Amino acid sequence: MPVKSIMSSTAPLLTSRHVAVIGAGATGLVAARELRREGHRVVVFERGDEVGGTWVYTPEVESDPIGLNPKRSIVHSSLYDSLRTNLPRESMGFRDYPFKKREEKGRDSRRFPGHREVLMYLQDFAARFEIYELVRFGTEVVFAGLDKGGKWRVTSASRNTDPVDEIYDAVIVCNGHYVKPRLPHIPGINVWPGKQLHSHNYRRPEPYQDKVVVLIGNSSSAVDISRDIATVAKEVHIAAWSLEEDKLGKMHGHENMWLHSMVDSVHEDGTVVFKDGNAVAADFIIHCTGYSYEFPFLETNGEVTVDDNRVGPLYKHVFPPALAPWLSFVGLPWKIVPFPQFELQSKWIAAVLSNRIALPSKEEMLEDVEAFYSSLEASGTPKRYTHNMALLQWEYNDWIADQCAFPYIEEWRKQMYLATGKNRALRPDSYRDEWEDDDLVQQAEQDFANYLI
Protein backbone atom coordinates (compact mmCIF):
# COMPACT_ATOMS: atom_id res chain seq x y z
CA MET A 1 0.00 0.00 0.00
CA PRO A 2 1.68 3.29 -1.02
CA VAL A 3 1.45 6.06 1.57
CA LYS A 4 2.54 9.62 1.15
CA SER A 5 5.61 10.56 3.10
CA ILE A 6 4.92 12.69 6.13
CA MET A 7 8.42 14.16 5.86
CA SER A 8 7.97 16.70 3.07
CA SER A 9 5.52 17.42 0.34
CA THR A 10 8.18 16.74 -2.30
CA ALA A 11 9.20 13.35 -0.92
CA PRO A 12 8.57 10.32 -3.17
CA LEU A 13 5.71 7.92 -2.54
CA LEU A 14 6.89 5.43 0.03
CA THR A 15 5.84 1.81 0.26
CA SER A 16 4.30 0.69 3.52
CA ARG A 17 5.28 -2.82 4.61
CA HIS A 18 3.91 -5.22 7.18
CA VAL A 19 6.85 -5.79 9.52
CA ALA A 20 7.43 -8.17 12.42
CA VAL A 21 9.87 -6.97 15.06
CA ILE A 22 11.12 -9.72 17.39
CA GLY A 23 11.79 -8.33 20.88
CA ALA A 24 10.77 -5.19 22.78
CA GLY A 25 14.11 -4.27 24.33
CA ALA A 26 15.87 -1.04 23.41
CA THR A 27 16.40 -2.23 19.81
CA GLY A 28 12.84 -3.40 19.24
CA LEU A 29 11.37 -0.22 20.70
CA VAL A 30 13.39 2.15 18.55
CA ALA A 31 12.97 -0.07 15.48
CA ALA A 32 9.19 0.04 15.98
CA ARG A 33 9.28 3.82 16.32
CA GLU A 34 11.35 4.33 13.18
CA LEU A 35 9.28 1.86 11.15
CA ARG A 36 6.05 3.56 12.09
CA ARG A 37 7.50 7.01 11.42
CA GLU A 38 8.29 5.76 7.93
CA GLY A 39 4.70 4.59 7.43
CA HIS A 40 5.09 0.83 7.96
CA ARG A 41 2.62 -1.40 9.81
CA VAL A 42 4.40 -2.93 12.75
CA VAL A 43 3.85 -5.79 15.18
CA VAL A 44 6.36 -6.21 18.00
CA PHE A 45 6.57 -9.69 19.53
CA GLU A 46 7.75 -9.80 23.14
CA ARG A 47 7.92 -13.03 25.08
CA GLY A 48 8.16 -11.18 28.40
CA ASP A 49 5.48 -9.07 30.08
CA GLU A 50 7.26 -5.73 29.89
CA VAL A 51 9.23 -3.58 27.49
CA GLY A 52 12.92 -3.04 28.27
CA GLY A 53 14.53 -6.45 27.59
CA THR A 54 17.71 -6.92 29.55
CA TRP A 55 16.85 -3.92 31.76
CA VAL A 56 13.92 -5.82 33.31
CA TYR A 57 15.77 -7.03 36.42
CA THR A 58 14.71 -10.27 38.03
CA PRO A 59 16.14 -12.02 41.10
CA GLU A 60 15.41 -15.31 39.31
CA VAL A 61 18.30 -17.28 37.86
CA GLU A 62 18.42 -20.13 35.37
CA SER A 63 18.14 -23.79 36.39
CA ASP A 64 21.64 -24.44 34.99
CA PRO A 65 23.91 -21.73 36.45
CA ILE A 66 26.51 -22.07 33.68
CA GLY A 67 23.95 -22.23 30.91
CA LEU A 68 25.17 -25.41 29.20
CA ASN A 69 21.94 -27.42 29.39
CA PRO A 70 19.85 -26.49 26.31
CA LYS A 71 16.71 -27.52 28.25
CA ARG A 72 17.42 -25.11 31.12
CA SER A 73 14.79 -22.58 32.13
CA ILE A 74 15.77 -19.37 30.33
CA VAL A 75 15.96 -16.09 32.23
CA HIS A 76 16.46 -13.23 29.80
CA SER A 77 18.08 -10.54 31.92
CA SER A 78 21.75 -10.57 32.92
CA LEU A 79 21.51 -7.74 35.42
CA TYR A 80 22.80 -7.96 38.97
CA ASP A 81 21.03 -6.13 41.75
CA SER A 82 23.73 -3.50 42.29
CA LEU A 83 24.27 -2.71 38.59
CA ARG A 84 24.73 0.92 37.67
CA THR A 85 25.27 1.96 34.05
CA ASN A 86 28.83 1.90 32.78
CA LEU A 87 28.18 4.85 30.47
CA PRO A 88 27.05 8.29 31.60
CA ARG A 89 23.37 8.82 31.00
CA GLU A 90 23.86 11.80 28.67
CA SER A 91 25.71 9.57 26.20
CA MET A 92 23.31 6.63 26.50
CA GLY A 93 19.98 8.06 25.38
CA PHE A 94 18.34 8.08 21.97
CA ARG A 95 19.11 11.20 19.96
CA ASP A 96 15.76 13.00 20.13
CA TYR A 97 14.72 11.55 23.49
CA PRO A 98 17.61 12.36 25.85
CA PHE A 99 18.16 10.30 28.98
CA LYS A 100 17.83 13.38 31.16
CA LYS A 101 18.17 13.57 34.91
CA ARG A 102 14.75 13.38 36.57
CA GLU A 103 14.38 14.65 40.10
CA GLU A 104 10.91 13.24 40.87
CA LYS A 105 10.46 10.81 43.75
CA GLY A 106 11.33 7.27 42.75
CA ARG A 107 13.76 8.33 40.03
CA ASP A 108 17.52 7.91 40.21
CA SER A 109 19.08 11.20 39.16
CA ARG A 110 22.69 10.03 39.30
CA ARG A 111 24.82 10.45 36.21
CA PHE A 112 25.47 6.68 36.16
CA PRO A 113 22.10 5.51 37.47
CA GLY A 114 21.02 2.11 38.73
CA HIS A 115 19.43 -0.32 36.28
CA ARG A 116 15.85 0.54 37.27
CA GLU A 117 16.26 4.07 35.98
CA VAL A 118 17.23 2.77 32.53
CA LEU A 119 14.15 0.56 32.51
CA MET A 120 11.99 3.56 33.44
CA TYR A 121 13.61 5.59 30.66
CA LEU A 122 12.75 2.86 28.12
CA GLN A 123 9.20 2.64 29.49
CA ASP A 124 8.89 6.43 29.17
CA PHE A 125 10.17 6.17 25.59
CA ALA A 126 7.63 3.47 24.76
CA ALA A 127 4.81 5.55 26.25
CA ARG A 128 5.93 8.82 24.62
CA PHE A 129 6.05 7.26 21.15
CA GLU A 130 2.97 5.07 21.67
CA ILE A 131 4.84 1.82 21.13
CA TYR A 132 2.89 -0.17 23.75
CA GLU A 133 -0.05 -0.49 21.38
CA LEU A 134 2.21 -2.26 18.86
CA VAL A 135 3.55 -4.88 21.29
CA ARG A 136 2.11 -8.36 21.81
CA PHE A 137 3.34 -9.23 25.29
CA GLY A 138 3.79 -12.79 26.50
CA THR A 139 4.17 -13.86 22.88
CA GLU A 140 7.27 -15.71 21.79
CA VAL A 141 8.32 -16.08 18.18
CA VAL A 142 9.08 -19.77 17.82
CA PHE A 143 9.69 -19.71 14.07
CA ALA A 144 10.52 -17.06 11.47
CA GLY A 145 11.39 -18.25 7.98
CA LEU A 146 10.92 -17.61 4.29
CA ASP A 147 7.51 -18.45 2.87
CA LYS A 148 6.19 -18.39 -0.68
CA GLY A 149 6.74 -15.30 -2.84
CA GLY A 150 9.53 -13.90 -0.69
CA LYS A 151 7.25 -13.28 2.29
CA TRP A 152 8.09 -14.30 5.84
CA ARG A 153 6.16 -16.75 7.96
CA VAL A 154 6.21 -15.91 11.66
CA THR A 155 4.90 -18.45 14.14
CA SER A 156 4.28 -17.16 17.63
CA ALA A 157 3.11 -18.81 20.81
CA SER A 158 1.35 -17.17 23.73
CA ARG A 159 0.64 -18.80 27.06
CA ASN A 160 -2.29 -21.21 26.99
CA THR A 161 -3.04 -20.73 23.30
CA ASP A 162 -2.10 -22.65 20.17
CA PRO A 163 0.75 -21.26 18.05
CA VAL A 164 -0.34 -18.73 15.45
CA ASP A 165 1.08 -18.45 11.91
CA GLU A 166 1.19 -15.09 10.16
CA ILE A 167 2.73 -13.71 6.99
CA TYR A 168 4.87 -10.55 6.97
CA ASP A 169 6.78 -8.64 4.32
CA ALA A 170 9.81 -8.28 6.56
CA VAL A 171 11.28 -9.46 9.86
CA ILE A 172 13.60 -7.46 12.09
CA VAL A 173 15.52 -9.45 14.68
CA CYS A 174 15.88 -7.57 17.98
CA ASN A 175 16.22 -10.49 20.40
CA GLY A 176 19.28 -9.31 22.37
CA HIS A 177 22.61 -11.09 22.73
CA TYR A 178 23.36 -11.24 26.43
CA VAL A 179 21.46 -14.43 27.16
CA LYS A 180 23.46 -17.50 26.14
CA PRO A 181 26.65 -17.85 28.21
CA ARG A 182 29.98 -18.49 26.50
CA LEU A 183 32.35 -20.67 28.51
CA PRO A 184 36.07 -21.26 28.09
CA HIS A 185 37.48 -24.78 28.22
CA ILE A 186 39.34 -25.27 31.49
CA PRO A 187 41.44 -28.42 31.92
CA GLY A 188 40.17 -30.37 34.94
CA ILE A 189 36.81 -28.58 35.24
CA ASN A 190 34.87 -31.87 35.21
CA VAL A 191 36.51 -33.05 38.43
CA TRP A 192 36.80 -29.70 40.19
CA PRO A 193 34.47 -29.96 43.24
CA GLY A 194 33.50 -26.29 43.68
CA LYS A 195 30.46 -24.43 42.42
CA GLN A 196 30.42 -22.60 39.09
CA LEU A 197 28.19 -20.03 37.53
CA HIS A 198 28.21 -17.63 34.62
CA SER A 199 27.83 -13.91 35.32
CA HIS A 200 24.42 -14.16 33.58
CA ASN A 201 23.22 -15.85 36.80
CA TYR A 202 24.90 -13.58 39.35
CA ARG A 203 22.49 -11.40 41.31
CA ARG A 204 23.69 -10.59 44.83
CA PRO A 205 26.81 -11.13 46.99
CA GLU A 206 25.27 -12.93 50.03
CA PRO A 207 25.92 -16.53 48.87
CA TYR A 208 29.67 -15.74 48.81
CA GLN A 209 29.96 -14.73 52.47
CA ASP A 210 33.40 -15.86 53.75
CA LYS A 211 34.06 -17.86 50.56
CA VAL A 212 37.03 -17.88 48.20
CA VAL A 213 35.83 -16.85 44.75
CA VAL A 214 37.67 -16.87 41.40
CA LEU A 215 36.25 -14.70 38.63
CA ILE A 216 37.35 -15.41 35.07
CA GLY A 217 37.54 -12.35 32.81
CA ASN A 218 38.21 -8.68 33.30
CA SER A 219 35.50 -6.90 31.32
CA SER A 220 32.96 -4.59 32.94
CA SER A 221 30.86 -7.37 34.52
CA ALA A 222 33.93 -8.92 36.18
CA VAL A 223 35.08 -5.52 37.44
CA ASP A 224 31.67 -4.83 39.04
CA ILE A 225 30.86 -8.31 40.32
CA SER A 226 34.29 -8.80 41.90
CA ARG A 227 33.83 -5.61 43.93
CA ASP A 228 30.27 -6.53 44.87
CA ILE A 229 31.42 -9.93 46.16
CA ALA A 230 34.51 -8.54 47.90
CA THR A 231 32.18 -6.78 50.37
CA VAL A 232 31.40 -10.18 51.95
CA ALA A 233 33.84 -12.81 50.62
CA LYS A 234 37.00 -14.03 52.29
CA GLU A 235 39.06 -13.71 49.11
CA VAL A 236 38.31 -12.64 45.55
CA HIS A 237 40.71 -13.63 42.75
CA ILE A 238 40.36 -12.26 39.23
CA ALA A 239 41.90 -14.20 36.35
CA ALA A 240 42.52 -11.82 33.47
CA TRP A 241 43.51 -12.52 29.86
CA SER A 242 45.83 -9.64 29.20
CA LEU A 243 47.46 -7.66 31.95
CA GLU A 244 50.92 -6.22 32.39
CA GLU A 245 52.97 -8.21 34.91
CA ASP A 246 53.24 -5.28 37.31
CA LYS A 247 49.46 -5.19 37.73
CA LEU A 248 49.30 -8.79 38.98
CA GLY A 249 49.10 -9.52 42.70
CA LYS A 250 47.19 -7.89 45.55
CA MET A 251 44.95 -5.10 44.27
CA HIS A 252 45.74 -1.62 45.45
CA GLY A 253 43.13 -0.30 47.88
CA HIS A 254 41.51 -3.70 48.48
CA GLU A 255 42.09 -5.99 51.44
CA ASN A 256 40.81 -9.19 49.88
CA MET A 257 41.24 -8.91 46.08
CA TRP A 258 43.99 -10.27 43.84
CA LEU A 259 44.66 -10.06 40.10
CA HIS A 260 46.13 -13.09 38.34
CA SER A 261 46.97 -14.26 34.87
CA MET A 262 44.43 -16.60 33.21
CA VAL A 263 43.41 -19.90 34.78
CA ASP A 264 45.63 -22.73 33.58
CA SER A 265 43.86 -25.71 35.15
CA VAL A 266 41.67 -26.75 38.07
CA HIS A 267 41.98 -29.85 40.24
CA GLU A 268 40.08 -32.46 42.21
CA ASP A 269 41.36 -31.03 45.52
CA GLY A 270 39.65 -27.70 44.76
CA THR A 271 42.73 -25.75 43.66
CA VAL A 272 42.68 -23.31 40.78
CA VAL A 273 46.10 -22.89 39.16
CA PHE A 274 46.87 -19.72 37.19
CA LYS A 275 49.20 -19.53 34.20
CA ASP A 276 51.81 -17.67 36.26
CA GLY A 277 52.02 -20.69 38.59
CA ASN A 278 50.10 -19.21 41.53
CA ALA A 279 47.29 -21.34 42.96
CA VAL A 280 44.33 -20.90 45.33
CA ALA A 281 41.82 -23.30 46.86
CA ALA A 282 38.50 -21.86 45.74
CA ASP A 283 34.84 -22.44 46.58
CA PHE A 284 33.36 -20.74 43.51
CA ILE A 285 34.30 -19.93 39.91
CA ILE A 286 32.29 -17.21 38.24
CA HIS A 287 32.70 -17.12 34.46
CA CYS A 288 32.51 -13.50 33.27
CA THR A 289 33.31 -14.69 29.79
CA GLY A 290 30.67 -13.15 27.60
CA TYR A 291 27.81 -14.44 25.52
CA SER A 292 26.98 -16.18 22.24
CA TYR A 293 24.61 -14.90 19.60
CA GLU A 294 21.63 -17.17 19.25
CA PHE A 295 18.54 -17.10 17.01
CA PRO A 296 16.74 -20.35 17.81
CA PHE A 297 13.57 -19.28 15.98
CA LEU A 298 15.23 -18.20 12.72
CA GLU A 299 15.25 -20.40 9.59
CA THR A 300 17.26 -18.91 6.72
CA ASN A 301 18.17 -22.08 4.79
CA GLY A 302 21.79 -21.48 5.70
CA GLU A 303 21.91 -17.88 4.40
CA VAL A 304 22.75 -16.59 7.90
CA THR A 305 24.89 -18.60 10.28
CA VAL A 306 26.59 -18.05 13.61
CA ASP A 307 30.18 -19.19 13.32
CA ASP A 308 32.43 -18.62 16.32
CA ASN A 309 30.18 -15.70 17.28
CA ARG A 310 30.25 -14.16 13.80
CA VAL A 311 26.69 -13.64 12.57
CA GLY A 312 27.01 -13.61 8.84
CA PRO A 313 27.25 -12.78 6.16
CA LEU A 314 25.74 -9.42 7.06
CA TYR A 315 26.14 -6.18 5.14
CA LYS A 316 27.24 -3.59 7.70
CA HIS A 317 26.13 -5.90 10.55
CA VAL A 318 22.49 -5.46 9.51
CA PHE A 319 21.35 -7.03 6.21
CA PRO A 320 22.10 -10.59 4.97
CA PRO A 321 22.77 -9.92 1.25
CA ALA A 322 20.73 -12.91 0.05
CA LEU A 323 17.67 -11.95 2.09
CA ALA A 324 17.91 -8.16 2.17
CA PRO A 325 16.03 -6.08 2.89
CA TRP A 326 13.38 -8.51 4.14
CA LEU A 327 15.47 -9.78 7.02
CA SER A 328 17.59 -7.50 9.18
CA PHE A 329 19.25 -7.37 12.59
CA VAL A 330 19.46 -4.43 14.98
CA GLY A 331 21.97 -4.22 17.80
CA LEU A 332 24.57 -6.89 17.00
CA PRO A 333 27.72 -4.75 17.52
CA TRP A 334 29.25 -4.54 20.99
CA LYS A 335 31.69 -2.23 22.78
CA ILE A 336 29.64 0.72 21.56
CA VAL A 337 27.30 3.41 22.79
CA PRO A 338 24.26 1.24 22.14
CA PHE A 339 21.03 3.24 21.92
CA PRO A 340 22.10 5.91 19.37
CA GLN A 341 23.53 3.21 17.12
CA PHE A 342 20.34 1.13 17.39
CA GLU A 343 18.43 4.25 16.36
CA LEU A 344 20.59 4.79 13.26
CA GLN A 345 20.37 1.16 12.18
CA SER A 346 16.59 1.29 12.61
CA LYS A 347 16.24 4.46 10.55
CA TRP A 348 18.27 2.86 7.78
CA ILE A 349 16.17 -0.34 7.75
CA ALA A 350 12.89 1.59 7.82
CA ALA A 351 13.95 3.76 4.88
CA VAL A 352 15.29 0.83 2.84
CA LEU A 353 12.01 -1.06 3.37
CA SER A 354 9.98 1.89 2.14
CA ASN A 355 12.22 2.28 -0.93
CA ARG A 356 13.42 5.70 0.15
CA ILE A 357 17.00 4.40 0.28
CA ALA A 358 18.40 1.76 -2.07
CA LEU A 359 20.81 -0.98 -1.05
CA PRO A 360 23.65 -2.04 -3.37
CA SER A 361 23.14 -5.26 -5.35
CA LYS A 362 23.45 -8.59 -3.57
CA GLU A 363 26.85 -9.14 -5.23
CA GLU A 364 28.13 -5.73 -4.13
CA MET A 365 26.99 -6.32 -0.57
CA LEU A 366 28.69 -9.72 -0.50
CA GLU A 367 31.89 -8.17 -1.84
CA ASP A 368 31.75 -5.57 0.91
CA VAL A 369 31.29 -8.27 3.56
CA GLU A 370 34.18 -10.31 2.12
CA ALA A 371 36.43 -7.24 2.12
CA PHE A 372 35.49 -6.60 5.76
CA TYR A 373 36.26 -10.19 6.75
CA SER A 374 39.59 -10.04 4.90
CA SER A 375 40.51 -6.84 6.73
CA LEU A 376 39.78 -8.53 10.07
CA GLU A 377 41.92 -11.49 9.09
CA ALA A 378 44.76 -9.26 7.89
CA SER A 379 44.80 -7.44 11.22
CA GLY A 380 44.77 -10.73 13.15
CA THR A 381 41.31 -10.09 14.61
CA PRO A 382 39.66 -13.36 15.68
CA LYS A 383 36.31 -14.22 14.09
CA ARG A 384 34.54 -13.93 17.43
CA TYR A 385 35.39 -10.20 17.45
CA THR A 386 33.58 -9.54 14.14
CA HIS A 387 30.93 -7.40 15.85
CA ASN A 388 33.30 -5.78 18.37
CA MET A 389 33.44 -2.15 17.28
CA ALA A 390 35.06 -0.02 19.96
CA LEU A 391 36.66 3.00 18.24
CA LEU A 392 35.37 1.93 14.81
CA GLN A 393 31.82 2.68 15.95
CA TRP A 394 32.00 6.37 15.04
CA GLU A 395 32.94 5.83 11.40
CA TYR A 396 30.27 3.12 11.16
CA ASN A 397 27.62 5.38 12.72
CA ASP A 398 28.54 8.25 10.41
CA TRP A 399 28.30 5.95 7.41
CA ILE A 400 24.74 4.95 8.35
CA ALA A 401 23.85 8.56 9.16
CA ASP A 402 25.01 9.48 5.64
CA GLN A 403 22.74 6.81 4.16
CA CYS A 404 19.79 8.25 6.07
CA ALA A 405 20.74 11.92 5.61
CA PHE A 406 20.59 12.14 9.40
CA PRO A 407 23.00 14.28 11.48
CA TYR A 408 26.16 12.61 12.75
CA ILE A 409 26.43 11.54 16.39
CA GLU A 410 27.39 14.65 18.39
CA GLU A 411 31.07 15.31 19.04
CA TRP A 412 30.47 15.65 22.80
CA ARG A 413 29.02 12.12 22.88
CA LYS A 414 32.15 10.67 21.29
CA GLN A 415 34.41 12.66 23.62
CA MET A 416 32.35 11.58 26.62
CA TYR A 417 32.70 7.92 25.66
CA LEU A 418 36.49 8.33 25.45
CA ALA A 419 36.68 10.33 28.68
CA THR A 420 34.61 7.71 30.51
CA GLY A 421 36.86 4.92 29.23
CA LYS A 422 39.94 6.72 30.52
CA ASN A 423 38.31 7.54 33.82
CA ARG A 424 37.17 3.92 34.28
CA ALA A 425 40.73 2.69 33.71
CA LEU A 426 42.08 5.26 36.16
CA ARG A 427 39.42 4.87 38.86
CA PRO A 428 37.71 1.49 38.44
CA ASP A 429 36.20 1.79 41.93
CA SER A 430 34.83 5.30 41.71
CA TYR A 431 34.47 6.38 38.05
CA ARG A 432 30.69 6.51 38.41
CA ASP A 433 30.91 9.18 41.10
CA GLU A 434 34.08 11.12 40.20
CA TRP A 435 34.81 12.53 36.74
CA GLU A 436 36.45 15.40 34.96
CA ASP A 437 34.26 15.95 31.90
CA ASP A 438 31.71 18.41 33.27
CA ASP A 439 32.32 20.60 30.21
CA LEU A 440 30.92 17.77 28.05
CA VAL A 441 27.92 17.39 30.36
CA GLN A 442 27.20 21.08 29.83
CA GLN A 443 27.41 20.72 26.05
CA ALA A 444 25.06 17.74 26.21
CA GLU A 445 22.55 19.68 28.31
CA GLN A 446 22.64 22.58 25.87
CA ASP A 447 21.82 20.15 23.07
CA PHE A 448 19.06 18.50 25.07
CA ALA A 449 17.32 21.85 25.48
CA ASN A 450 16.44 21.54 21.77
CA TYR A 451 14.22 18.56 22.46
CA LEU A 452 10.83 18.83 24.08
CA ILE A 453 10.14 15.58 25.87
Amino acid identity at 193: P
As a whole number of angstroms, the distance between CA 355 and CA 307 comes to 31
What stretch of H or E contains 38?
none
Compare residues 266 and 440 and give the one whose CB is closer to ligand FAD: 440
Compare residues 79 and 212 and give the one whose CB is closer to ligand FAD: 79
How far from 342 is each of 32, 174, 189, 326, CA to CA, in Å?
11, 10, 38, 18
What stretch of H or E contains 62?
none
Compare residues 270 and 338 and give the one whose CB is closer to ligand FAD: 338
R_g of the chain, CA atoms, integer Å: 23
Compare residues 40 and 200 and give the one whose CB is closer to ligand FAD: 200
CB of 415 to ligand FAD, least distance (A): 17
CB of 24 to ligand FAD, least distance (A): 5
CB of 123 to ligand FAD, least distance (A): 12
Length of the chain: 453
Edge-first strand listing for the sheet containing 249-250? 195-198, 284-287, 212-216, 235-239, 257-260, 249-250
Compare residues 25 and 325 and give the one whose CB is closer to ligand FAD: 25
CB of 26 to ligand FAD, least distance (A): 4
The site for ligand FAD (CB under 6 A) is made up of: 22-28, 45-48, 53-55, 76, 78-79, 85-87, 92, 140-141, 174-176, 178, 221, 297, 331, 338-339
CB of 41 to ligand FAD, least distance (A): 18
Q: Which residues pair with 263 in a beta bridge?
A: 274
Compare residues 55 and 412 and give the one whose CB is closer to ligand FAD: 55
CB of 227 to ligand FAD, least distance (A): 14
Angle at 89 between CA 87 and CA 95, to 5 degrees: 110
CB of 334 to ligand FAD, least distance (A): 8
Compare residues 192 and 412 and give the one whose CB is closer to ligand FAD: 412
How far from 183 is each of 36, 196, 198, 285, 322, CA to CA, in Å?
39, 11, 8, 12, 32
